[in-house]
A and B are shown apart, each in its own frame.
Chain A
């Protein structure tokens, strides 16, 4: 027992290259077996204790809900009676795949995703490029960029709902002053999707711009210097130096925005107002997230809602796989 204790003591990195005298001095006050056991236990267990919080959290708030929704998606489970479930197998999934509402929601999620993500990232890149110049009061501009991101979804959506109100809203007043007829934004199919996208764009452009800006500032200065020596204009510098150097960052923001777009929920829900989970009278802006909420919490079919959740996960995994392929291709190209 004491031999192994000795071994542990000498092997400990602390005592690394200690002279024999030092070892002697340690063994002269050899700790009690209890203490050394505690010590070994400490060495072995401490790392686990340190990482435990993450795993506990992940288990409670990540893994368990994931598995439970998986289980629920295979059952008929109603919000009014969680103790009673009937095995359905894949019926929830086949029902969903045959439901017009599901495909409609998937389509809406895709179109809203495209018309919100593409302009958002393009504008963010432009803004970041502008902010990258030496500007007076640059901190002020940067903070201003981030302000929409710090606004809550609820207040932003409320303001946009009023802006897009069909009677007396500012947007209709503006297009009316140019001579167009007012648009019933919420109840028209492209109009509502445009309005919801505009909330998303407004909230997230600044955030992405700051990420781009951070990446731009990491681009070595001599690249620009040599480019300008070669006679490249500012625009050419942007195209041939900045963008290629930003590629990994752009890919990252594309992935994050895509995930955000797939899970879009708060903006359309609040834009819809009363009965917002329907996403309009014709479900014209009902996203997958809204459809899930409507099924689970308004209609009370938790089993079906869980199946929607798992299909959303599947969609995200497919997107991730495609993204990985593209990333690999990009690396090879270089």
Chain B
């Protein structure tokens, strides 16, 4: 009796231990199962993105799933790129848990090309890819020195200026987009001068811009010289583009023209909703953001004009990591998603501007977007800027250097009342630390 009892107890123990062990093993392994083929031959493709890329919102995944019944698409979104990018790097390094298709932000593309090039498929050679489909500079940005193209362009960020007509009118400024564009054409100082004029008669509790950093980024978007020279050497200290952007930001910060908000903070969102600022730098991808955050009351109040200089702020690529399980299918998907017809649909939904010039003539923003921005000729404005954007040299730590300047240097002057010299010194010190010097 007793030995029977003992045996059964032992059995139970063994069973428990085995169950525990197998569940542990299962828990450990289930992580890299993502994107495996099911028993019915169905394939799940994981697409890793940051922010709102608009591919899903434009219904492209649904469309692709319909024409490819054996494929299911799952999008893994991380809201901010500064959280998404380190994760992408670790996944690429370990080869585990990589997405089948991965989005890459333009400020990281050089680092990815230079250090992770071997870990991506060559999309330049993929079936159905024509180099001429894409903007030349966009194509080059994602191509390694030995001619391997690791990412196909999704959107670019031709940068216009968005402004609130109602606030401009109250401050006694012109509200016509042509007139404004002419007034500040070619020179950001003229834009700042208009800001000074605005502040003299500013409606209560409003400022001219959302933040000095956004002015920095907008001016810098049109820079011919950025943080690195062609040989890959850092030139951020003497770069003319950097200096111009810094000077404009300093004027805004010291002239009390900014609402002192930090972009992409919750308080910045509230700033849109409460009409706290009259202008905001407006890369194409920002248009959707403005609509969402300002809400229905902003309809017909916002308008859009060409900025003093033509430039590009932001944009993204799609790449196919070689560690993925379904490289063939993933490549097909990435190629399909970045064709002009598909990107035109993203534009129609989200106003993210395609990196494929052939689409420009046929681009139509959604009726809602058009009405929201006071019937501005959005397509023409963005296409015109995209055509004139100077081809600039990007560098390996562009993202981190830019962040050191805007979130340390500019912010110290704007919000902590430090002098521009102090601010620049702090930014320089930060950059040196970032670069490990």
Residue contact A299 to B416, C-beta cutoff 8 Å: no
Q: Judge whether A80 and B111 touch: CB under 8 Å.
A: yes
Interface residues on A, range: 35 or more
> Is A273's CB under 8 angstroms from B264's CB?
yes
Residues of A within 8 A of B266 (CB): 158, 161-162, 273
In this complex, what residue of B is CB-closest to A278?
A: B407
Report which of B17, B267, B406, B433 forms a contact with A99, defined as CB distance below 8 A.
Answer: B433
Contact of A161 among B267, B403, B407, B411 (CB under 8 A): B267
Sorting the interface of chain B by its residue count into under 10, 10 to 19, 20 to 34 or 35 or more gives 35 or more
Q: Return chain B residues, CB-CB under 8 Å to A278.
A: 403, 407-408
Q: Which of A105-113, A142-150, A163-171, A233-241 contacts its partner? A: A163-171
Instruction: Answer whether residue A49 sits at the interface, using C-beta atoms and an 8 A cutoff.
Output: yes
B342 within 8 A of A: no
Of all chain B residues, the one with the shortest Cβ separation from A299 is B434
Known: A273-B264, A274-B263. A281 touches B10 (CB 8 A): no
Q: Smallest CB-CB separation from A57: which chain B residue?
A: B24
Q: Give a binary string over B49-72; 1 marks a CB under 8 Å from any A CB, 0 the rest.
A: 000000000000000000000000
A94 to B13 CA separation, bound complex (whole angstroms): 52
Task: Please name the residue on chain B nearest to A46 by beta carbon.
Answer: B13
CB distance from B426 to the nearest CB of A (A): 7
| Contact in complex: A275, B436 (CB < 8 Å) | no
Q: Residue on B with the closest CB to A164? A: B267
Contact B262 A299 (CB under 8 A): no
Instruction: Give min CB distance, B373 to chain A, whole Å.
Output: 25
Chain A residues whose CB sits within 8 angstroms of the CB of B2 once the complex forms:
14
**Which residue, of A50, A99, A168, has the highest number of chain B Cβ atoms within 10 A?**
A168
CB neighbours of B434 from chain A (8 A): 299
| Closest chain B residue, CB of each to CB of A60 | B28
The answer, yes or no, to whether B93 is at the interface (CB within 8 Å) is yes
Contact of A273 among B10, B115, B259, B265 (CB under 8 A): B265
* A residues in contact with B274, CB < 8 Å: 168
A282 interfacial contact with B, CB 8 Å: yes
List of B residues within 8 angstroms of A56 by Cβ: 24
Q: Which of the segments B82-90, B146-154, B157-165, B225-233 contacts the partner chain?
A: B82-90
Known A79-B89, A80-B116, A281-B416; contact A49-B265, beta-carbon cutoff 8 A: no
Which A265-301 residues have C-beta < 8 A from chain B?
A: 273-275, 277-278, 281-282, 297-301
Closest to B429 in A: A100
Interface string of A67-86 (1 = CB under 8 A from B): 00000000000011111000
Name A283's closest neighbour in chain B (CB-CB).
Answer: B408
A158-B266, A161-B267, A167-B267 known; A281 and B415 CB under 8 Å?
yes
B20 interfacial contact with A, CB 8 Å: yes
Q: Which listed residue, B10, B115, B270, touches A42 by the CB 8 Å rule?
A: B10
Q: Which of B20, B89, B429 contacts A80 (CB 8 A)?
A: B89
Residues from chain A with a CB closer than 8 A to the CB of B80 are 274
Q: Which residue of A lies closest to B89 (CB)?
A: A79
Smallest Cβ distance from A13 to chain B, in angstroms? 12
State the Cβ distance, A38 to closest chain B Cβ, in Å: 10
- Name B403's contact: one of A166, A275, A282 (CB within 8 Å): A275
Question: Would you call B301 an interface residue if the criterion is a C-beta within 8 Å of the partner chain's C-beta atoms?
Answer: no
Within the complex, the shortest CB–CB distance from B285 to chain A, in Å, comes to 16
Contacts of B13 in A (CB 8 A): 46
Q: A220 within 8 Å of B by Cβ?
A: no
Give, as a whole number of angstroms, the nearest-CB distance from A34 to chain B: 15
A101 CB contacts on chain B under 8 angstroms: 433
Q: For the complex, is A16 an interface residue (Cβ under 8 Å from B)?
A: no
B260 at interface by CB-CB < 8 Å: yes
B28 CB, min distance to chain A CBs, angstroms: 9
Residues of A within 8 A of B17 (CB): 49-50
Report 29 cross-chain contacts, Cβ distance below 8 Å, ordered by A residue.
Answer: A14-B2, A14-B6, A53-B20, A79-B89, A82-B93, A101-B433, A161-B265, A165-B270, A166-B260, A167-B276, A186-B415, A187-B411, A273-B264, A273-B267, A274-B80, A274-B262, A274-B264, A275-B82, A275-B407, A281-B415, A281-B426, A282-B412, A282-B416, A298-B82, A298-B86, A298-B400, A298-B403, A300-B86, A300-B400
Listed in ascending order, the chain B residues whose CB lies under 8 Å from chain A are 2, 6, 10, 13, 17, 20, 24, 80, 82, 86, 89-90, 93-94, 111, 115-116, 259-267, 270-271, 274, 276, 400, 403, 406-408, 411-412, 415-416, 426, 429, 433-434, 436
User: 5 smallest A-B Cβ distances: which pairs?
Assistant: A281-B411, A275-B407, A273-B265, A80-B115, A297-B86
Q: A187-B411, A274-B263, A281-B416 are in contact. List 19 more A-B contacts (CB 8 A).
A: A14-B2, A53-B24, A79-B90, A81-B93, A81-B115, A82-B94, A161-B267, A167-B271, A186-B415, A273-B265, A273-B266, A274-B80, A275-B82, A275-B407, A278-B403, A278-B407, A298-B82, A298-B86, A299-B400
